[in-house]
Structures are given as C-alpha cells and as structure tokens.
Amino acid sequence: MTRVDFYLLDDATEGGIDAAVCKLAHKAFRLGHRVFILTHDHEDAQRLDRLLWTFSAGSFIPHGLAARPADADLPVLIGQDEPPVAHDDVLIQLTSQVPEFFSRFQRVAEVVDGSDGAKTHARVRFRFYRDRGYALQTHKISAGDFVEA
C-alpha cells in the first residue's frame, strides 16, 4: 500500500517549497528511486526543471519534463499530467487535489507551504488518505532544513 508523507513547511514562500522539492527529489534519486514531481501547471514544471540544474553546486539529478518523449526514461520527471507507467516509485505531489493515479506509487510526498490556503487543502487531502487507510507520516520542517551545506 502507498505510504504518504506530508512535509509541512513553516513559511509560505515559493522558494521554500522549491527548495524542499529539489532536496526531496535529490535524496530519492540518490537512494535509487524513480521520481515524478506533479506540478500545478506547465510554468511550475519549467521553473522546477531549471532549479534542479542549479539548486546544489555539487549534485547532478538527471531529470526532464514529462511532456518531452525523449525524457521519459529519466529517473526524475516533472509534469502536470499523469506520468509514464515506469514512474511508480515516488510521487512528489504539489497540487491542491489528490491525483487519481497516486495509489500506483510506492510513496507520495505531499509538500505543503505555510499559507492558510495550502494548509486547508492539505487537511482535505490528509483526511482523504486517512479515511482510506493509507499509512501517513507528518514532518514539520523549516526552509532552513533544505539549505545545502
């Protein structure tokens, strides 16, 4: 059964979410996982695509946009639609709704900023998973937790 982790950031800045996503993707990639980052829209996907190249000077994460067929075999994909079938290991979920395909993943990382709106949507998603018996973990983190040394 899918494990769901909620990462609750203590601030509402976009940069905090971006840093958390990059760090989570980097950690999952280093552990050998295939990752799909589900974004709200194409602009968010493109921004994360750029950030994954530069977020840490000493790291490299092979990644690309899911919309590009040539990128489909990369270990980390970013997109706003359902991922290719081969990506069923880790889902980093950034949308306000539970995606229909979440249960095919081994693990879902729900990254939530500190804004009231984001917290409200996260509570709805939390109840959705809980009411269906999914294993849930909650991690309270600060933006400083994601600063590269």
In this structure, the strands spanning 107-112 and 3-9 are parallel
On whether the CB atoms of residues 105 and 88 are closer than 8 A, the answer is: yes
pLDDT tens, position by position, 88-111: 999 999 999 999 999 999 999 999
**Given this model, what pLDDT does residue 147 score?**
45
> In this structure, what CATH number is given to the domain that contains residue 7?
3.40.50.10110
Q: Which of 128, 142, 53, 132 is nearest to 93 (CA)?
A: 128
0.85 cut: is pTM over it?
Answer: yes
pLDDT tens, position by position, 43-57: 999 999 999 998 877
Residue 111's domain spans which residues? 3-146
Number of compact structural domains in the chain: 1
Residue 14: pLDDT over 90: no
CA torsion, ordered 79, 80, 84, 89, to nearest 10 deg = 80
Residue 127: pLDDT over 50: yes
Identity of the highest mean pLDDT range in 4-13, 45-54, 65-74: 45-54
Arithmetic mean of pLDDT over the chain? 91
**Given this model, what pLDDT does residue 54 score?**
87
Which residue did the predictor score with more confidence, 147 or 66?
66
